[in-house]
Amino acid sequence: MSIAAAPDPYIQDGPYAWFRLAVCILLSTIGGAGMWAVVVVLPAVQADFGIDRADASLPYTATMLGFAAGNYLLGRFVDRFGIVPPVIGSAFALSAGFALAALSGDVWMFSLAQGVLVGLGTAATFGPLIADISHWFVKRRGLAVGCAACGNYLAGVLWPSFIQWNLATADWRETYLVIAVACLVTMVPLALILRRPPPEGALAAGAGARPFGAETTGLPPAALQWLLVLAGLACCVAMSMPQVHIVAYCVDLGFGIAPGADMLALMTGAGVISRLASGYVADKIGGVKTLLIGSVLQCAALFLYIPFNGLASLYLVSLVFGLSQGGIVPSYAVIVREYLPAREAGQRVGLVIMATILGMALGGWLSGWIYDLTGSYEAAFLNGIAWNFLNMAVIVFILFSGRRRPSIAAGQ
């Protein structure tokens, strides 16, 4: 009598896939320090270097530019060589970047360290990890992508709280040195766990399509790619206003740094819930519709910041904002995997995420510039809302360009 073969734990949606996802989340959480640290120390850096708000926003913009470029460049690298080399390189880049930033004598050296080393180092722990984990899931790909993207927001919960606590007994420079050590000693061992290549067939032609999908956008792949780039840029100009300036906003309102850091942690913690929920929804209705839902909710939340500026109301609005916008960025990765080639997932996901990060960089600087020009953040919120309407218009165009086609052949 023949004995049934044991199930392969290394197949897509198998036990190893979920274990690998957990490691990716942990790596993204640690590496995400590069995005959030500069936001929390912005007021301290401004006071230390004696600069205005727009100049103090430049290090964040530099970080986002490096982060953006890294997502695309390292995504191409991952398509060819796998995820391990860029993640190990990320650990060393983050460690060197935080150390150099801590020793900076002016905002220009600080911005250079943030942009070249911290930004590029952080990049490997976001888009490339999302693209890598997407090869390990089919039935639960949307949920897996949402979970992997949660690491970036878990970093927004962990690091602002840690930095706020550390700033009570040390300055921002000493805090940066502590982060430099933490990134190096934790990330290298975790990266080595990811040495196994994607399952056989995961990169085959047609592997990017949804297993139940009979829909197409009706657009050429190149057109869809660049529409997603435009949508990503616009949505994240809007998204950046609260995320980049909430700490400074609270300081201006007289509430201090601590409530602002708590609000940042609150909105990113709520963003974790949003990303998990959006991943689940994307597996049911697809990435384009999920993206539109998130964009509409984000726009509504931005409107709430204008009339409500009391301490309690800002906590509540920040919670609503986090629940609204968290699932937007992972939805782009889901759309790429639904409609574009699997073998190019790293670079295509990286290109769209690069656009979202450029939007964060542009929006972060624009908000500071508008603040310096007008003396308040109200006009900056209105600027974000206008960009959000552009994002929604692009998504609606993609959605209404859709048409039905015959069911995709089995395995496509």
Q: Where does the pLDDT of residue 315 fall: very low under 50, low under 70, confident under 90, or very high at 90 and above?
A: very high
Q: How many CB atoms lie within 10 A of CB 212?
A: 12
In terms of Cβ atoms closer than 10 Å to its own Cβ (0-12, 13-18, 19+), residue 378 is middle
> Lowest mean pLDDT: which of 170-179, 193-202, 308-317?
193-202
Q: Map out the domains of the chain as residue ranges.
A: 15-402
Picking from 398, 402, 404, 407, the residue whose alpha carbon sits closest to that of residue 225 is 398
Q: Where does the pLDDT of residue 295 fall: very low under 50, low under 70, confident under 90, or very high at 90 and above?
A: very high
Structure-token pair, residue 260: 């602002």
Q: Are the CB atoms for 125 and 87 separated by under 8 Å?
A: yes
CA atoms within 13 A on the CB side of 308: 15
Query: CATH fold of 15-402, please?
Result: Growth Hormone; Chain: A; (1.20.1250)
- 3-state helix vs strand vs coil in the chain, percent to 5: 75, 0, 20
Residue 215 gets which letter from DSSP? E
Reply yes or no on whether the pLDDT at 239 is more than 70.
yes
Q: Are the CB atoms for 199 and 137 separated by under 8 Å?
A: no
Picking from 248, 255, 385, 347, the residue whose alpha carbon sits closest to that of residue 310 is 255
Reply yes or no on whether the pLDDT at 218 is more than 80.
no
Instruction: Determine the pLDDT at residue 139.
Output: 84
Coil, helix or strand for 383? helix
| CA–CA distance, 60 with 63 (Å, rounded to integer) | 5
Give tens-digit pLDDT for 316-328. Answer: 999 999 998 888 9
Q: Are the CB atoms for 117 and 191 separated by under 8 Å?
A: no
